[in-house]
Structure 1
Amino acid sequence: MALAKLDVVVLDCPDPRALAGFYAAVLGGTVEGDGDWVDLKVPGGPSLAFQRASGFVPPEWPAADRSQQFHLDLAVEDLDTAEKGVLELGARPLDTEDRSRTFRVYADPAGHPFCLCAC
């Protein structure tokens, strides 16, 4: 028997509304709230929340001294199409050179690593 149920994944960032908008453009869903806490209600999946963190320092990938701590894997039908879309939205590539793999690694506009994964 589980003791708890996953409610939401929360990402610290300097601008919660902007980062919620980035992920809404990538995943769909509805951005709710403003200020220091913003929610993204994702259709058919868990919600994401974005919390203002003063002095936020983005992780580096890969780096032992500024570990990513977690990342999101986002399933996509077409890696090239999804890559073009996330780059247009402000993501930056971290590890995309090996085009034979089934995943590519990016950083969102606040610096959190995420992967696009072929499904």
Structure 2
Amino acid sequence: MAVAELGAVVLDCPDPRALAGFYAGVLGGTVEGEGDWVDLKAPGGQTLSFQAAPGFVPPKWPAPDASQQFHLDLSVPDLDAAEKEVLALGATPLDTEDRSRSFRVYADPAGHPFCLCAC
């Protein structure tokens, strides 16, 4: 028996509304809230939340001497098409050169790493 169920994944960032908008463009869903806390209600019922963090410093990737804390794996049917979309939304490529792999690594506009993974 589980003790709890996952309510939301929360990302610290300098501008919650802007980062929620980025992920709404990637995942779909509805952005709710203003100010220091904004939720993205994604299709399927998951919630991705964004919290204002004064003095936010983005994770470094790759950095053997610094933790990236976490990253999101996002499943996509077509890596090339998804890459074009996330770049147009403001993502930055971090590790995309090896086109033979089933994943590519990017940073969102606040610097959090995420992967597009072939499904």
Is 2:31 the partner of 1:18? Answer: no
The range that moved more, 100-109 or 56-65, is: 56-65
- Deviation digits for residues 2-53 of structure 1, max 9, x if unmatched? 1010000000000000000000000000000000000000011421000000
Query: Which structure 2 segments of 5+ residues have no match?
Result: none
- Where 1:59 maps in the other structure, the secondary structure is coil
Equivalence map 1:28-47=2 (5 Å): 28-47=28-47
Identity of aligned residues (%): 82
- Where 2:75 maps in the other structure, the secondary structure is strand
TM value normalised by structure 2: 0.98
- Where 2:20 maps in the other structure, the secondary structure is helix
Number of residue-to-residue matches in the alignment:
119
Shift >6 Å, 4+ stretches:
none
- Inter-partner Cα distance in structure 2 for 1:64 and 1:25: 31
- Where 2:24 maps in the other structure, the secondary structure is helix
TM value normalised by structure 1: 0.98
- Inter-partner Cα distance in structure 1 for 2:34 and 2:52: 10
